[in-house]
Amino acid sequence: MKKKLVFLILVFNISFVPLIFGQTDTSFNFINQFNFPVYSFTVDNIGALYLITPDNQLKKYDEKGDSVGVFNRVTQYGKLTYVDAENPWKTILFYQNFSTIVLLDKYLNEVTAINLRKQNIFRVHAVTSSYDNNIWLFDEQDNKLKKIDDNGNILSETVDFRLLFDSAPDPKKIIDRDGFVYLYDPEKGVYIFDYYGSFKSKLTFLNWTDIEVFGKTIYGFDSTNVYKYTPPVPDALAYKLPPELQNNTSVKLANHKIYVLKNNRVAVYNLP
């Protein structure tokens, strides 16, 4: 039931994209800006914002902009690569240089840490929560999509991607959505698999800085545009971002708001 509710909320929010970005005179209502340097960020499905600072601190804010948690154990696992909050009740911190995943509860208390090297997994760029409360990752050494549990045990894996493709992808993001797993390599495109590891299709959408999937629709962003693709149309539709949102580092949509990382600051706007 919780999964269905989250999905409905997201579909409601994202359905505004063609209307908003198809207009040239649309202005966004500024809500808030976080006036400290931000390296990267994400937003969960219930409106919480997760900010990573250049000094490796993770800060969490609720949808009103109030601070609700800080994770300060910055030296134990090295440089924090990114945070995945697809599951608001189990936040994933990924430390690429140390091949380590740290799981936090909703209060940013550490639950457990997974040393991937103990599973002979040494090269990973992308991880995310799976539909069944486990973790997807792409093992670049084995060239396989793998699912692990909270103890690091491998639950399932695909065949070696070198057997499927002339050139194996190097995905920078993984998305688990409604029976499918999407791997995005900005230089090669979107690779789509089912939950059993069977390859379904590839889409050559390149150079997006962000990507999201709702239902069967894929949304992508770059510094000036938002793109929408819904099969079986042959290509993605492009909508120009308003000037205040262009030249960004990252853009995310959630909870009827748009979040923009620009000039090392995160600003939040209401969608019209």
Query: 163-202 pLDDT, tens per residue?
Result: 999 999 999 999 999 999 999 999 999 999 999 999 999 9
User: Alpha-carbon torsion 228, 143, 154, 50, what sign?
Assistant: negative
Summarised one tens digit per residue, pLDDT across range 95-152 is: 999 999 999 999 999 999 999 999 999 999 999 999 999 999 999 999 999 999 999 9
257 falls in which pLDDT band (50, 70, 90)?
Answer: confident
First to last CA, the chain: 29
In the predicted model, is pLDDT for residue 232 greater than 50? Answer: yes
DSSP character at residue 258: E
Going by their DSSP bridges, the two strands 135-139 and 154-157 should be labelled as unpaired
Task: Indicate the domain borders of the chain.
Answer: 2-270
Residue reference for tokens 């990752």: 137
Mean pLDDT of 48-70: 93
| Residues whose CB falls within 8 Å of the CB of residue 24, separated by 6 or more in sequence, listed in order | 240
Of the listed ranges 22-36, 51-65, 142-156, 256-270, the least confidently predicted one is 22-36
Q: pTM for the whole thing?
A: 0.87
What pLDDT, on the 0 to 100 scale, is given for residue 74? 66
> How many other CB atoms sit within 10 Å of the CB of residue 24?
7
**Could you tell me which CATH number the domain at 2-270 has?**
2.120.10.30
Q: How far is CA 39 from CA 17, 62, 79, 108, 179, in A?
A: 26, 19, 11, 18, 32
More confident residue, 145 or 26: 145
Which ranges of the chain does DSSP label H, i.e. alpha helix? 2-14, 17-21
Beta bridge partners, 32, equal 268
27 falls in which pLDDT band (50, 70, 90)?
Answer: low
Q: How far is CA 130 from CA 91, 193, 266, in A?
A: 12, 13, 27
| Portion of the chain with pLDDT greater than 70, in percent | 89
Mean pLDDT of 227-237: 91
- Type of residue found at 201: S
State yes or no: cis peptide before 186, omega within 30 of 0: no
The first and second tokens of residue 5, run together, are 């509710």
Q: How far is CA 106 from CA 50, 93, 251, in A?
A: 11, 13, 23
